Amino acid sequence: MILGLAISVPIVVWGSTLVVKWVERYPMILWGGAAVLGWTAAKMIASEPLLAPWFVAWPVARTAVYALAVGGLVAFPLWRSLSQQQRAQGAVLVLLVAWLTLFGWIERQMGARLDIFENWRWDDELIDLVRWVGWIPFAIWLGRRFKQ
């Protein structure tokens, strides 16, 4: 046992010193580590015996758990390190993605088509107009909000 400790303790000390030097030189290692921890947490949540049948029935929920766990552990610290202008730009980007996703879902629910020459209906064009222009006032509001 003493021989094992005599060998393993210096290896652990040397290894941790090496990892600290790598992290100081390449800080992105921390982001990768956070992503791995988030992935592991999401995998543990999704494979929990009480929740697994529910996640099998709702695969979108499983994807959302992975996105929230990994994205949360990476996005929140990154968000705090950004300047106000970069935060505003990021918020507008997230708003745009959520907005377009929502209207894509609405379009699928309505059975609308993007081809204006086939089965053209007024509600199709109205959805496209709101989809591509409607997010702009919210983007302006977010930009002003972050400048305060």
d(CA 89, CA 28) in angstroms, rounded, equals 21
d(CA 39, CA 66) in angstroms, rounded, equals 6
For the CA atoms of 92, 98, 101, 102, what is the dihedral angle to 10 degrees? Answer: -120
| pLDDT tens figures, 52-102 | 888 888 888 888 898 889 888 888 888 888 888 888 888 888 888 888 788
Domain map of the chain by residue range? 7-81, 83-148
Q: Is 12's pLDDT higher than 60?
A: yes
How many other C-beta atoms can be found within 10 angstroms of the C-beta atom of residue 142? 19
Of 131 and 112, which is predicted with more confidence?
131
